[in-house]
Amino acid sequence: MYVHATAALSIFFLYLTGLPLTFSEHLGWLFAIFGYGNVVLLHIIAGVALILVGVYYVSYLLLGVLSGRAGIPALPTLEDAREAVQYGKYLGGRAKKPEADKYGWLQKAEVGVIVTELTLISLTGLLLWYRGLFVSPEFRAILGGHEPLADFLLLIARDIHLIFALTFLMGIAFHLYIANVKEKYPFNETMFSGDVSAERAAHHWPAWARKKLGELPGHVETAAPAKKTLAGVTFALLLFFAVVVTATLFAAVFSPLPTRDYLVAVSGDVLTQGVTGVVYFLGLNAAVLMVIGGSAAIIYGISKRLRGEYDV
């Protein structure tokens, strides 16, 4: 639980510091509160913490496999492919909804995306941290003294970092939506307690519950928000996705390195600074509020765990 919480807090702090570094005109108030140098320092510390957590997870899994103690449950199998096909048929009204296991095809796909994106974010983050590599005489000598190519590679590293970081932000919003709106409204404490009730397992993961219990117990419906609330949250989530996607394009893909005239790019100022700039201001600040809220929820859950309020 504590490792998961450390990873989550590291990610939240990376966004709390990385978003103002990317969108300073919309989120400059964070610099006014914490100071630019402190924001950069916290971003680096959070990045190092996340990488260390990743090293821990990989080491833990490898030791489990090598010792024969455990496998890697998140690895996809042929059964997951069959389940995904059946789920597609279910959406088309041609089959029953497949019973979810503890790690279904959707969860495994989510884990795969998370691992891939965080790996790319970490690697490009390290490159940007040591960006002196791109301007070093040795590196440019390897490139045959081609200075524009070195700058272009730096631009590519920055763009990959921004694109995957900002699209991963959508994944975080979706994860919070699934966990705290769809699965257990309004606050899912499973991460901190480490268990779920048999009734809830039967409702959300019937295949897993049947394996563990032999037969499914009667279960009450999971608490859910009102339809208007659910519709409003879903609409806000989709609008948030649209803001993040377009902001990503203008912050990364269409944005050149400064002081390099040969890196011509389309300016996003028309959209991000005009009347629609209000939308970006609200959307990006909503992202910051989501990050702050998520961090507060994790700290709240950890404090309850430390006080012994969850049965272990």
At 256, which CATH number?
A: 1.20.950.20
In a domain, 80, yes or no: yes
**Which residues are CB-contacts of 207 (< 8 A; sequence separation ≥ 6)?**
99, 100, 101
Q: For the chain, which residues score pLDDT lower than 70?
A: 132, 134-136, 140, 143, 145-147, 218-225, 227, 230, 248-276, 311-312
CA distance 193 to 188: 10
Residue 71 vs residues 74, 125, 209, 212: alpha-carbon distances, Å: 9, 30, 20, 18
pLDDT in tens, 156-188: 888 888 888 888 888 888 788 777 777 777 778
Q: How many helices (H) and strands (E) does the chain have?
A: 15, 0
Q: How far separated are the first and last CA of the chain, in Å rounded?
A: 11
User: What pLDDT does residue 49 have?
Assistant: 95
In a domain, 35, yes or no: yes
Residue 197 vs residues 34, 82, 177: alpha-carbon distances, Å: 42, 28, 21
In a domain, 287, yes or no: yes
Which residue range forms the structural domain that includes residue 284? 2-306
In a domain, 312, yes or no: no
User: Do residues 39 and 30 touch, judged by C-beta distance below 8 A?
Assistant: yes
In a domain, 20, yes or no: yes
What is the tally of structural domains in the chain? 1
pLDDT in tens, 85-129: 888 888 788 888 887 788 888 888 888 888 899 999 999 998 888
In a domain, 234, yes or no: yes
Rounded to the nearest 10°, the torsion over CA 53, 171, 182, 187 is 50
pTM summary value: 0.80
User: Do residues 206 and 104 touch, judged by C-beta distance below 8 A?
Assistant: no
Sign of CA dihedral 39, 41, 42, 44: positive
In a domain, 311, yes or no: no
CA distance 125 to 131: 9
CA distance 5 to 151: 37
**Which residues are CB-contacts of 295 (< 8 A; sequence separation ≥ 6)?**
9, 12, 13, 16
In a domain, 88, yes or no: yes
Nearest to 279 by CA among 232, 304, 234, 247: 247
